Amino acid sequence: MFISILTILIGAVLTAGGAQELVAQGIFNNRRYPLLGGTLGAVAGALLLSAGIALLRESPRAVALTRAAAYVSVPVFVIIGFIWPLAGWPVRIVGIAFPLFLLWYFRKPPAYARTPEVTRG
């Protein structure tokens, strides 16, 4: 339960930061890279947020959604953190390290996500 709540909180903060970059710098100041980077950051954060909600609800597809969110988040935060230097170092660390931690933590599906074995009689 702790991991799911932490994923929800981190996803919400990353979504808010991406939306802020999208609106304040991308739309209002008419800058292309903050528009693209904010959109990518908001989408990656929203995926982490939805993965945390699925984990909290113990959805059968929660682990797959968490892996998909991690596979999207790591390249996005490498792009907006290092290639286009839009994100600060705390966002770089959290946006890259936490999804990698989720991949490590869910390397084996939990009991509620495994399908029961069918025995032949």
Q: Quickly list DSSP for 60-113.
A: TTHHHHHHHHHHHHHHHHHIIIIIS--S-HHHHHHHHHHHHHHHHHTSS--GGG
pTM, two decimal places: 0.83
What pLDDT is recorded for position 88? 86
What pLDDT is recorded for position 115? 61
Domain ranges of the chain: 2-108
Q: What is the pLDDT of residues 16-41, one digit of tens each?
A: 999 999 999 999 999 999 999 999 99
Question: What proportions of the chain, in percent to the nearest 5, are helix, strand and coil?
Answer: 80, 0, 20
